[in-house]
Amino acid sequence: MFSRVRDFLYRHRRKFLIGGIVVGGAALLSRYAEKKLLEWHERQTRTLVEQQKRRQHYDNTLRTSSATVLSLASSVKEVISRDLDADALLQALREQPQHKRSIWEQLKVVGFSRAAATVYVGSLVAASIRVQLMLLGGYTFRELINTGQSKALITQTLQQKYLAAVHYLIEQGVPRLVEHVTKAVTHLTTGLPLNHSLTLTQMEAIFHEIRLALAGEGSPQDATTQERKLKADSWSQYVLKAPVPPDGDSEENRILYNMLVETSDILDSEDFSSVMDTLIQNGINLLLDRLADFYPEPKVYKENWVDSVSRDTPAAMGDSIELNSQVCTTSAITLAPPAAQCSVLSSCALPVAKVVPVLSGVVHAALSPTPGQLLQKVLTNDKLDALGANVYEAFAAPPTH
């Protein structure tokens, strides 16, 4: 019997050998596949956890950025109100009535300057702080992921030194930007009579000219030496001191220098300039919307046969109406179909002297945390959100070697 078994195994030894190899190989492959599957699951889990941590860290950084901007709003208002002091001019107007014309000219410049400076300063403070905190947030998250702990190289001292740039922005950058805006406004509004009436379309044109002057984009034929001097500095010069290479071998100072250089590069980039252009234009549009509330509305009423007859009489042709120094041309009240009715933008006007107090008071409401005001609109702008997210992702990602 044993000989038969031995003979059977001997005759089929090749089959048993191949079968053993196949079964053994299948077992090894099964274990290898199981190991790789577990590794893939672990990688996926780590990736999901890291993404979740990154999302939470980004959201916290975004909230911190918005809270920081809102907390600085009162300081920004103080700087604008101090450097463009309308109250002092009003007091001088009461005490020195004999100089009222020159004082009113100063009030005109201050009014337009306060409105334009509010838009420029609010946009720059919100955008620059968003960039700074997102860059810092990216650095800290990368250290957190790479080292497993929050200390590493980005220490609290380093963060405080980096964020000290905020003090430079408020104490030196904002006053300098206000000064540059005032120069442009003075150049463009000198000679504008106080009794001259302005429509909203004309107001928009004035602010557009201010933008062009500060951007250095005036028409070539008008590019005088004075107008070239009106161009604002690069955005980084208002936000940061020029980074100075560190002395010695301090790792902390080297990292701080690199962070400041990278921040400066972002602030001077085309992407940041594009975001600032959008914020400034949106701010001016919002300002004009608020200003429109002080303009008279076109009067529209139902036409009857008496109105139809009187409208066609020669005496009714070409008249204009003046109500409490608020001027509205006849086209604003002409009895025409709705599609042909005149718009407030181009038909109704206010004297410059009436517009100035409104512009002077814009700063307080625009820089308040109230929803719908300028600061809230800037902080929720889509282009600013996209820029902040890109900055965060760029510095949160591990460096490639």
Give the model's pLDDT for residue 252: 85
Give the DSSP H/E element, type plus range, for residue 350. strand 348-351
**Two tokens, residue 177:** 């930007």
Closest CA to 382 of 302, 310, 274, 257: 274
Query: Which residues are 197's β-sheet partners?
Result: 351
User: Quick one: pLDDT band at residue 221, thresholds 50, 70, 90?
Assistant: very low
Render pLDDT for 289-339 as a digit per residue (tens, 0 to 9).
988 888 876 555 444 434 443 344 333 333 333 334 444 433 333 333 333
Q: Are 165 and 236 in contact (CB under 8 A)?
A: no
- Rounded CA separation 302/335 (Å): 8
Among residues 115, 174, 2, 73, which one has the least CA distance to residue 356? 115
User: How large is the average pLDDT for residues 156-170?
Assistant: 88
**Would you state the structure tokens that stand for residue 324, as one six-digit string?**
């409490």
Q: For the residues 220-232, what does the mean pLDDT come to?
A: 62
322 DSSP β-pair partners: 327
Q: How far apart are CA 171 and CA 85, in angstroms?
A: 17
Residues of the chain above pLDDT 90, percent: 40
Distance (Å, whole) CA 293 – CA 399: 53
Here the tokens at position 381 are 């702008």
Of 105, 262, 281, 109, whose CA–CA distance to 195 is shortest?
105
Does residue 123 contact residue 280 with C-beta atoms inside 8 Å? Answer: yes
Query: What pLDDT score was predicted for residue 298?
Result: 59
pLDDT at residue 327 in the model: 41
What is the C-alpha separation between 359 and 356, in angstroms, rounded? 5
Q: Which residue has the higher pLDDT, 147 or 177?
A: 177
pLDDT band at 104 (very low <50, low <70, confident <90, very high): very high
Distance CA 108, CA 356 (A): 6
Count the residues in the chain.
401
pLDDT value at 35 more than 60: yes
pLDDT per position as a tens digit, 243-275: 888 877 778 888 899 999 999 999 999 999 999
Taking Cα atoms as reference points, which of 105, 129, 253 lies closest to residue 185?
Answer: 105
Q: What are the domain boundaries of the chain?
A: 31-241+250-303+320-396
At residue 379, does pLDDT exceed 90? yes
pLDDT in tens, 4-32: 766 666 666 677 678 778 777 787 888 88
Joined together, the tokens standing for residue 92 give 């001088």
CA distance 191 to 184: 14
Q: Is residue 263 within 8 Å of 283, Cβ to Cβ?
A: no
Q: Are 233 and 216 in contact (CB under 8 A)?
A: no
